[in-house]
Amino acid sequence: MPTPSPRAAAAHLLDQILGEHRQMSELLATGALDRLQAPDRARAQRLATQTLKGMERADTLLAKHLRKPPPLPVMNILRLGTTELCHGGDAHGVVNECVGLIAGNARFARLKGLVNAVLRKVAADGPAEWANLPVPHLSDWLRGPLTEAYDATAVAGFEAAHFAGAPLDLTPKGDANALAQAVGGTALPTGSVRLQDAGQISALPGYEAGDWWVQDAAAAIPARVLAALPGEAVLDMCAAPGGKTLQLAATGADVTALDISDARMARVRENLARTGLNAGLVTGDALTHEGSYDAILLDAPCSATGTIRRHPDLPYARDGSEIGDLIALQAAMLDRALGLLKPGGRLLYCTCSLLPDEGECQIDEALVRHSSLSVDRAALNLPGIDPAWITEEGGLRLRPDYWGDLGGMDGFYIALLRT
């Protein structure tokens, strides 16, 4: 079987995400792009991601030339071609290959003429129109709850940040300014290093030496708030993919990394080896885990709605139906974590969600269930943290529209609890 082109692979990703509601991360982990060489894998993923981010714009342009939407695989190739054309792709090459992809599909070969005609029209007028179209909206299942929780300006800011996408952030093992100089990046106020155009990650200075790891700047804040001390017994309760485990291990704490997935734990193991850091790895269920710890970091399973700027497939792979079960699981994990703390211990609860039910509301309800529990507001007094981000109950609400002039950040909720 011949190796697919990056465009063909990108079209396959779109078919799986939009047709089968699978997540990009799942597809990549199960080998969807393994037959491609590294540069082609990166291009296929970039094409699919770019198409998902701008799909509303692509559909608007295509609607002018379609009497009705064609079957999904054909529509996805039209979306892919439209997006690439409107981002400066060579019209001849883009149109010809998209037509060829349909011509090679026995089910839809009869529609190659349609694809050819439509994309040629898009090539003529699409690029000029693209930039004047509105910023794509979030899916209805997510936009509704966000509109209830935030004002219209904030939601519009989220959508603009999602459409803009995300630069690459690195967490340094040492000095952020030195790493920024070495990789040609910018040291952020909270201690991360940001690159606007990173290229091949493994080719960056310090990768082989383990001087840093990839981690969004917002995701690096919870471990800094927990502020583990050398020698403390610390549990990273849902550890994979391991960025926070690495941060905790770098403090000199005695870290236990716990995750239910052995496959995901393999990545934690690889990152520890590359960075030369140490942690005990345990594959198991957080709800039945036993132990006694000075501090626990619980990055609880959640809707991940704060990560859409990096994962534009999420609104299409999910429909929100799982959120109720996730909220119940978060509460159970939070209660279990409190039971694993030594007297006077501290628990850092966080989720990469924009939904208050997975953040602020969880802490409000935990304070009712546990009368001895308190929220440590002072722990949020860190470099780069705007006091306006601190919420009524004493947590930290991070949003994609924050740091807009720097490239934004993931949405996160963070709270430090003391027993």
Query: 2: how many CB neighbours lie within 10 A of its CB?
Result: 6
Q: 375: which strand partners?
A: 417
- Give the closest residue to 120 by CA, choosing from 54, 65, 158, 194: 65
Contacts (Cβ under 8 Å, ≥6 apart) of 244? 219, 220, 222, 223, 236, 297, 299
* Active-site residue set: 352
Taking the C-alpha atoms of residue 274 and residue 66, their distance in angstroms, rounded to an integer, is 51
Q: Is 350 helix (H, G, I), strand (E, B) or coil?
A: strand
Query: 3-state class of 102 per DSSP?
Result: helix
Q: Where are the alpha helices (DSSP H) in 318-371?
A: 323-339, 360-369
What are the beta bridge partners of residue 394?
none
Q: Are strands 412-418 and 341-351 parallel, antiparallel or unpaired?
A: antiparallel
Residue 315: CB atoms within 10 Å: 22
DSSP 184-224: T-EE-TTS-EEESS---GGGSTTTTTT-EEE--TTTTHHHH
